[in-house]
Structure 1
């Protein structure tokens, strides 16, 4: 599971790995469900681009944006079946969320303590995601949103540490840079092989009991007009 992360602002890394500049996208210091964050997608007309999108997928048929409070993570085992996600999956609306780290609760002390998870090599990470677009019926605003895909992580040396004892352990899918193109352009590539728990040694974790909470509104809007 992932409910809170730090969007990367490392423009050099995104230019070298994806050919885009993440610093051109406005987002808060930390992202929570319904906050804006940078994602990369391959638009059929505009090619690979980086856009701001709300964390918590809002399916095109939703009556309002509140559904995004519950759709920030999508299980890979059921993503093709769940009403909120199945259209994005069928259309292969795949994206990469760009972040420096994310946070999970560790219960080893008997209470939830916030821990930080990051790449061991110190580089930003690209997390496999799905996206959709939704038109606000009240304002006509076109909103991009996304959900991170998760896989079982029982027994994983890092991701197996988090959430309450007895609960299933889950992890986001951390793609390697050499996998980015295959995920963004999946028409001729099987994607199931990419949906794996991070191999041992890729991630490290550490206690992070306090953190800055972004002052940006939880309703920080995604960019408009990018998918019309």
Structure 2
């Protein structure tokens, strides 16, 4: 399950994804739950357009006080048409592209969780890419609209790269990385059963993966802990020796 990724850069919205940039605001260099990040849909003329949405199908500010929150950053393909959080948007085929540079998963091959980043290559070079997503629109009190989105995941037990992540014994999952030639067909699809045909594992030989540094907030926490550590004074010997 992906809970953190590096969104695409602004210049790539038009050059890589051929989309109209309607985001209007900057986004953070890493995306976590509830952060604003770009997603791409078709407009009425079937042109690609990029807008900002919250990473979580149901953002925190849309949950009533006292109601228990469940993660909606990832929607399992197997239950996307059944769970209340996603079913209506799925039946309405509110499909989107989520453009990114890479995403992060935990690797336990060394005995403990190590942060890894995973991405896509194009002609042997690392390239931005898009994963299949689902979005919804929220009507705000001021009459404006806001948006939120989720990433779609599928089983990856048999994928030679993606099955290296998550805790030992857990089911392996992968984001649905879409080939560029499928972008417009995915966005234009209006039949949820046909949309399922797009939910495939990406070829491992077209992907890259490597160990990654801690996220900025974890680095800051680590530095803070280190700065507060005080060296223990040397204990005197009971026998008067140095």
TM-score by length of 1: 0.82
CA-CA distance at 1:213 after TM superposition: 4.2
Corresponding residue for 1:53? 53
CA 1:177–1:51: 2 relative to 1, 3 Å: same
Superposition RMSD in Å: 2.8
Measured after TM superposition, the shift of residue 102 of structure 1 is: 0.5
**Structure 1: how far apart are the matches of 2:5 and 2:70?**
15
Match of 1:177 in 2: 180
SS of equivalent residue, structure 1 residue 181: helix
Tell me the alpha carbon deviations over residues 131-160 of structure 1, each in whole angstroms, 9 at most, x when there is no partner.
0122456x7763200000000000212111
SS in 2 for 1:133: strand
Following the alignment from structure 1 to structure 2, what is the Cα–Cα distance between the partners of residues 163 and 67? 25
- Quick one: which of 135, 138, 144 aligns to 1:131? 135
1-structure distance, mates of 2:34, 2:107: 24
The correspondence for 1:156, drawn from 151, 159, 168, is 159
> Which structure exhibits the higher relative contact order, with contacts defined as CA atoms closer than 8 Å and separated by 6 or more residues?
1
Q: Mind listing any 5+ residue stretches in structure 1 that lack a counterpart?
A: 215-228
Could you say which structure has the larger radius of gyration? 2
CA separation in 2, counterparts of 1:9 and 1:68? Answer: 30
SS of residue paired to 1:108: coil
Aligned pair count reads 211
In structure 2, what is the equivalent of residue 225 of structure 1?
none
Q: Deviations over 1:23-46 (max 9, x none)?
A: 855210100010011000124478
**What's the secondary structure of 1:101's corresponding residue?**
strand
Whether the 8 Å CA contact 1:93–1:130 is kept in 2: the answer is yes
CA shift in 2, pair 1:92/1:203, >3 Å? same
**Alpha-carbon contact 1:153-1:171 (below 8 Å) kept:** yes
Equivalent in the alignment of 1:146:
149
Change (3 A) 1:188 1:81: closer
Q: Does 1:74 align with 2:75?
A: yes
Deviation readout 1:180-225 (Å, 9 max, x if unpaired): 00111003792222101112212111000323349xxxxxxxxxxx
Q: CA deviation at 1:51?
A: 0.3
Work out the CA distance in 2 between the residues paired with 1:23 and 1:164: 36
> Secondary structure at the residue paired with 2:150?
strand
Partner of 2:171: 168
Cα distance change on mapping 1:140 and 1:17 into 2, 3 Å = closer
1:176 to partner: Cα distance = 1.1
Secondary structure (helix, strand or coil) at the match of 1:175 reads coil
Q: Name the TM-score, length of structure 2 as normaliser.
A: 0.78
Q: Give the equivalent residue in structure 1 for 2:111.
A: 110
